[in-house]
Amino acid sequence: MRWIKIREIREEDLETVHKIERNSFRYPYPYSYLHFLFTLSRKLFLVAEIYPLQKIVGYIVGVIQYKNVGHIYSIAVDERYRRRGIGKKLIKKLLEKFIEKKCKTIRLEVRPSNIAAQNLYDKIGFRKNYLVKKYYPDGEDCCTEILEIDEEDECD
How does pLDDT run across 50-82, given as a tens digit for each residue?
988 889 999 999 999 988 999 999 999 999 999
Number of C-beta neighbours around residue 26 at 10 A = 9
DSSP-derived secondary structure letter, 126: -
What mean pLDDT value characterizes the chain?
Answer: 91
Position 42 confidence tier, pLDDT thresholds 50, 70, 90: confident
DSSP-derived secondary structure letter, 84: S
How does pLDDT run across 19-37, given as a tens digit for each residue?
999 999 988 999 999 999 9
How far the first Cα of the chain sits from its last, in Å, is 15
Position 151 confidence tier, pLDDT thresholds 50, 70, 90: low
Q: For 29-48, b where at least 16 C-beta lie within 10 A, e where not — what string?
A: beeeebeebbeebeebbbbb
Domains of the chain: 4-148 (3.40.630.30)
Number of C-beta neighbours around residue 134 at 10 A = 10
DSSP-derived secondary structure letter, 101: T
